[in-house]
Structure 1
């Protein structure tokens, strides 16, 4: 009986303690809920707070980021023009060489002898011309006296012409021998970075052989070949015809992103675009030229070129964080109208510009798009607006202004 009484008493005490704990916990929750409500829309008269950005028309540069490869501006494969033994290599592999710099010396003894022989033949041919000329002058005087036959005079004229022709042939032979002799000195056809030598001193080379002795590449300036889809080209041309985009002109600036993701310090210039589209890939090639004083860019490197294609007049840049997609895949954004109410609008997005979407129509000057708090509001709801500033690099909210709850939203 005593055990039953003790158990009943303990049960009552435990029950009372549990009830007191529940009451205290409920009081704490109620107090915490009041604090939370005080910081939310209910404490502000029921109007949810949203961050907005005011939009204004502006001229926007239309750019395209295109993949490309770096290529040398000029490439020259050095080959011998005459046959012979390589006596000297007169450059350091991997160094910079200048146009006309001597690279190889081929044994020139045979070609020097041929040149001297050609000079001797020229002197011999030139020596026969005066005598032939003198004989012709004498025969022309004698023919007036009928002292020589007409045939003899004709033979003399032909002999003089032949002597002059021999002189001309001898001069050509001298020039050919001189060219061969000069070609024993292999010189750099262009300025640039020279590669390793494929042959060593003492090697036999032949005229116009298939194997190049070395290769020279001009690295400053340097080219970047990028590819653009024909679809993008057609869209750009249509925008130009519609007056939405104005072309940049002949002097189109190009920026470059390296494989590491960093921006190249020098700006380039668009040189040309090909006049045909590749049937396999559906792309065409554009070539940009960049200064490369530090030789940072090397042929074969991958890079991404940012090409300024044109300028979109009177366009709006809508922050991407304020745009979403509906079930039909359309771009939609929430705006705050003059009455301070939320208004959903479908946007005709043209392209992305950094952290923004380019929109050419459907927006008026001074309209405000919601970029923060759009998940907690619905179309037609009255809201309190807070002007915010978007970081153009990251797309995140950078600064906030003062909340405004007027009926006109201003």
Structure 2
């Protein structure tokens, strides 16, 4: 009887432990009853190690020509004619869009007229004063001299009459002013004659030459505007998109057509934490649903050394097999990224404790819990990559971690097999 009671007494803890372990294994609960020792938390742990995520890392991309170029206008204008349509072949330099050039032709004619006038003024200055102009100046000098002599005699007579009281002071002042004006006119005509004899100064010639250069620049600008009314293809290829129709207004900076050339490729955007898993010449798996549900192997053609500043992702070009005509620009592609050479450190997603803005995991040396701030990476929904914060081989608390703080005493109730 005593023997039976003793067996029953020893069997109860064993059954309790089995029940707890089964409950933990099946339910995956995050807390356990406190240890029999006061203030000691019972926990379940597993060893941290390198494991691949169950979900493959994916990136998205799109089909595009090896070279794509948007056709835009440099000037604003009404579209008279679009000579090419989607899918048609074009050659580099071939006219694609014609704009109404009437206003630009008028501006060119005005600029040419201004240039002709500036050149004529410069030529006159360089030739000097002509004989006909010299004769006109001589006649003006004689007339001005005669007027001056007449004003002088008149002033002398008025002065004599004023002294005798025959005329007023105002009359004397008027004749004095007339004499002064006659002197000024005579001196001005003499100066014009002197300048005409000396010819144009260096400064005046330089100013006229500058005026000619400015007028010629206006002509060049007007000619360029006229030439810009014919928009040509920047490269040889096919028209991929068409965003303008006859009669509409084309504005600078707005793509009108898109030209693609070369073998089609997939351009994918790879996150910065995965870009080092790719190398030029490496093959990856790509699936383009619009063509086939079956994936195919694509070669990495080029990897950009610079990330997109907005998305922090790196553009990567991948080859496309088979007939290039089956791949249409804009088709979406799913790219399966290769596994890294070394599997990352992963932990169960439920083992991560969120406290404020930080992400923590609790590890133990068997008697105490220690909080480690971690940086997480990709996740497959069950496990999470740990980029920094823990080391391979540490004991991770996977049950009971939510109730723990750094330095709390713990009792390891059970150690799970990693990943099970």
Taking structure 2 as the reference length, the TM-score comes to 0.42
Q: Which has the higher contact order (CA 8 A, sep 6+)?
A: 2
TM-score of the two chains, using structure 1 as the length reference = 0.43
Q: Determine which structure has more spread, i.e. the larger CA radius of gyration.
A: 2
